[in-house]
Amino acid sequence: MTNIDELKSTGLKATLPRLKILEVFQKGTQRHMTAEDVFRVLLDERSDIGLATVYRVLTQFEQAGILLRSNFESGKAIYELNEGQHHDHFVCTSCGKVEEFYDPEIEKRQQAVAKAKGWVVEDHSMALYGQCANCAKARAQKA
């Protein structure tokens, strides 16, 4: 499916800003981005799409199910492509790096705990906060 078809299938018109922002997520090396990150990529590409437009399109993409939004402790919304597969996140408290992981044992344990408490889990998100390997190494070298 082309990007134009993908946008149309969600009820969105295929405008240039929408196509460019979708392309940033599809072709970029950074999977988790703030609106400011997206804006910087567009500036580097010499695009004239403004920050307000970026925010508006990201909100539209989230509502259409194209992007997922997470709010980690930084207070900034972090967006990623919705690929339809559940995962959780590690978040570095030093540099802000976000890394995805999936562990079937953790998922089973969460379901077991919910069942024992009489709950039926419909969805969940989990973020583990700590230091990424690079920041932990840098910290150890300073000590």
User: pTM of the full predicted structure?
Assistant: 0.83
Read off the pLDDT of residues 37-55 as tens digits, 9 standing for 90 and up: 999 999 999 999 999 999 9
Give me the DSSP letters along 43-67. Answer: HHTT----HHHHHHHHHHHHHHTSE
Name, in order, each residue with C-beta under 8 angstroms of 96's C-beta and a sequence gap of 6 or more. Answer: 74
**Using alpha carbons only, what angle is made at residue 78 by residues 74 and 84, rounded to the nearest 5 degrees?**
140
User: Which parts are annotated binding residues for Zn(2+)?
Assistant: 92, 95, 132, 135
Please report the DSSP string for 80-135 in residue order. EE--S---EEEEETTT--EEEE--HHHHHHHHHHHHHTT--------EEEE--HHH
Which pLDDT value is given to residue 91? 93
Q: What is the pLDDT of residues 54-106, one digit of tens each?
A: 999 999 999 999 999 999 877 789 999 999 899 999 999 999 899 999 999 99
List the domains of the chain with CATH numbers. 1-84 (1.10.10.10), 86-143 (3.30.1490.190)
CA-only gyration radius of the chain, Å? 18
Q: Name the token pair of 125.
A: 């998100």
- Binding residues for Fe cation are 86, 88, 107, 124
For CA atoms 91, 93, 136, 134, give the dihedral sign: positive
CB of 6 closer than 8 Å to CB of 66: yes
The conformational region for residue 14 under phi > 0 = left, psi -120 to 50 = alpha, else beta, is beta
Which residues does the annotation place in the binding site?
A: 86, 88, 92, 95, 107, 124, 132, 135
